[in-house]
Amino acid sequence: MKSLNLKCRAKINLSIDVLGKREDDYHLVEMIMQTIDLYDNVNIEEIDRGIYIDCDNEYVPTDSSNIAYKAADLIKKEFNIDKGVKIVINKNIPVAAGLAGGSTNAAAVLVGLNKLWDLKLTQNQLMEIGLRLGADVPFCILGGTAIAKGIGEKLTRIKGLRNVKILICKPDILVSTKWVYQNLDMNNVSRRPNTDNIVNTLEENDVQALADSMVNVLESVTENKYIEIKEIKRTMIKYKALESMMSGSGPTVFGIFDNLDYAQNAKEELQKVYKQTYLVNAYKGGIEIEG
């Protein structure tokens, strides 16, 4: 049987603003998304029938509620595929963390099945299909750095982070994205991001100016419930991060460093308390088919 191995990477948000809400309760956002070199390995194998998910992380469902399962089911139905697929996910990206770990798995399945079954779909077509699964899936297919508008699906590529180290720290708590948005009150938001200004800092590779401009309005909800988020941010700043901010709806916190030694010192300190701490780089691409 045919099979493929893929690397699917996490993302962080360099900014998040919420502009309003649609009638279907989806929030309208404007944010800057950045792929990072923290990835899950996904193996996709063609089988005679059915869809099977296997994962080495106990918190990841292996039934039809898994978004990777939904991606395979959607492709099979959309293109009348009579074969089945076994999907094995080796998780490195923390779960329920604001890093698009589930969405990037779904993106890998779409990209992988397009290759495995020779569907000849373009990247844009795959992104359109991915949007039916979740708002972050199109970006996970695109990869790199992009402005995201609408519900996150209107993507514009821009220059990304470079020559920096990114420290990722996920405390041992689970946060519901739905809960965060339901509890967001923009009247409690004291500062909002200037997207044009952040894009300019990335164009000019002015990392300090970028750090000074980063804002995530969702922090007003999540960090007020979970003290760990503020504590992690304070530790990163203490160890000379240029800035530290929550990614997505949390609870993961990241810090931007322009000095490798500072970043490594911060990592060592945080790892004493938080096992899921990673030092990574920005990444320019999307889903990677190995071999």
Q: What is the pTM of this model?
A: 0.95
- Strand ranges inside the chain, DSSP E: 3-21, 27-47, 51-55, 84-90, 145-149, 154-157, 165-170, 243-246, 253-257, 276-280, 288-289
List pLDDT tens digits, range 125-144.
999 999 999 999 999 999 99
CATH number of the structural domain 3-158:
3.30.230.10
List pLDDT tens digits, range 39-63.
999 999 999 999 999 999 999 999 9
Burial of 83: CB neighbours in 10 Å, binned 0-12, 13-18, 19+: middle
Confidence of residue 291 (pLDDT cuts 50, 70, 90): low
Q: CA torsion angle for 170, 97, 27, 288 (degrees, to 10)?
A: 120
CATH 3.30.70.890 residue ranges in the chain?
Answer: 165-280
CA separation for the pair 49, 11 (Å, rounded): 33
Bridge partners for 54 per DSSP: 88
**Cβ atoms 266, 241 nearer than 8 A:** yes
CATH 3.30.230.10 residue ranges in the chain?
Answer: 3-158
- CATH classification (class only), 165-280: alpha beta
Active-site positions?
A: 11, 136
Give phi and psi for 255, each to the nearest 5.
-130, 145
Q: Give the residue-averaged pLDDT of 180-199.
A: 92
Kindly give, in sequence order, each residue whose CB lies less than 8 Å from that of residue 18, ignoring residues fewer than 6 positions away: 27, 28, 29, 181, 184, 186, 217, 218
